[in-house]
């Protein structure tokens, strides 16, 4: 997948990138509840698992906005991936460890879900942090903490502030006032994402949850 370098001198975000990337290195986390009441009902009626549906929603939003695909490549160049695929954690019940695997992004949920099922079958028993040596560089991380319905979550990354991609963490859903609410936390780098972009991220995730009947249609036989 293509990586498009950014010309810093003509980039509108240059002053923000230099300030929050060099002078005042700054990441921030935001946690919000998603109302997944309709999503839970629709996906259950189709026999679809919740986790891949959430992964698809997140990947869909990431691929809509270049701010969420801006990073440094292996050569240290600043740029934007043309498309990104989700990397996500899976839990091993036997020894209480986890692994991070990935699945190719697809605009349509059906093919994406099929790819997810194939990867899960291939790696569900594989151990190690990154068992798939073929994981491409254009992936971004999603993790799940299904044992806790948290109200806040923060990551502390010690890499000189060079990790620019958003990091998503999904918690345990809970029932509240006849609704099902799911905590989602996202860590953003202020050099490439402002509060506006965080708001867009959560707003579009909620819209996808509400509009799930349209994109869930198709893979019910899987």
pLDDT, tens only, 195-217: 999 999 999 999 999 999 999 98
Active-site residue, 190 included: yes
Q: CA–CA separation, 6 vs 66, rounded Å?
A: 11
pLDDT given for residue 206 in this prediction: 98
CB of 85 closer than 8 Å to CB of 59: yes
Residue 160 has pLDDT above 80, yes or no: no
- pTM comes to 0.95
Q: CA–CA separation, 166 vs 154, rounded Å?
A: 12
pLDDT digits (tens, 9 = 90+) for 31-56: 999 999 999 999 999 999 999 999 99
CB of 17 closer than 8 Å to CB of 6: no
pLDDT digits (tens, 9 = 90+) for 165-191: 999 999 999 999 999 999 999 999 999
Q: Which of 4, 65, 189, 190 is catalytic?
A: 190
pLDDT given for residue 158 in this prediction: 78
Q: Give the mean pLDDT of 98-119.
A: 97
Comparing CA positions, the residue from 125, 83, 127, 77 lying closest to residue 104 is 83
Q: Of 158 and 129, which is predicted with more confidence?
A: 129
Percent of the chain at pLDDT > 70 equals 97
Q: CA–CA separation, 170 vs 51, rounded Å?
A: 9
On the 0-12 / 13-18 / 19+ scale of CB atoms within 10 A, 96 is exposed
Q: CA–CA separation, 158 vs 144, rounded Å?
A: 21
Strands (E), 106-212: 139-144, 167-170, 174-176, 179-189
Percent of the chain at pLDDT > 90 equals 91
pLDDT given for residue 218 in this prediction: 56
Average pLDDT of the chain is: 94
């Amino acid at each position: 997948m293509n990586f498009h370098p950014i010309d810093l001198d003509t980039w509108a975000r240059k002053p923000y990138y230099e300030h929050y990337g060099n002078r005042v290195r700054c990441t921030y986390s935001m946690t919000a509840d998603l109302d997944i009441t309709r999503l839970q009902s629709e996906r259950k009626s189709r026999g679809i698992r919740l986790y891949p549906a959430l992964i698809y929603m997140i990947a869909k939003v990431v691929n809509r906005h270049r701010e969420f695909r801006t990073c440094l490549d292996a050569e240290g160049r600043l740029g934007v991936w043309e498309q990104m695929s989700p990397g996500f954690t899976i839990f091993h019940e036997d020894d209480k460890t986890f692994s991070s695997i990935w699945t190719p992004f697809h605009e349509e949920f059906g093919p994406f879900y099929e790819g997810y099922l194939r990867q899960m079958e291939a790696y569900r028993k594989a151990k190690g942090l990154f068992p798939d040596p073929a994981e491409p560089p254009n992936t971004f991380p999603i993790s799940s903490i299904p044992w806790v319905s948290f109200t806040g979550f923060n990551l502390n990354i010690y890499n000189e502030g060079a990790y620019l991609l958003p990091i998503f963490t999904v918690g345990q859903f809970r029932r509240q006032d006849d609704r099902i609410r799911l905590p989602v936390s996202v860590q953003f780098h202020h050099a490439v994402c402002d509060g506006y972009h965080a708001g867009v991220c959560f707003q579009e995730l909620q819209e996808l949850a509400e509009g799930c009947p349209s994109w869930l249609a198709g893979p019910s036989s899987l």
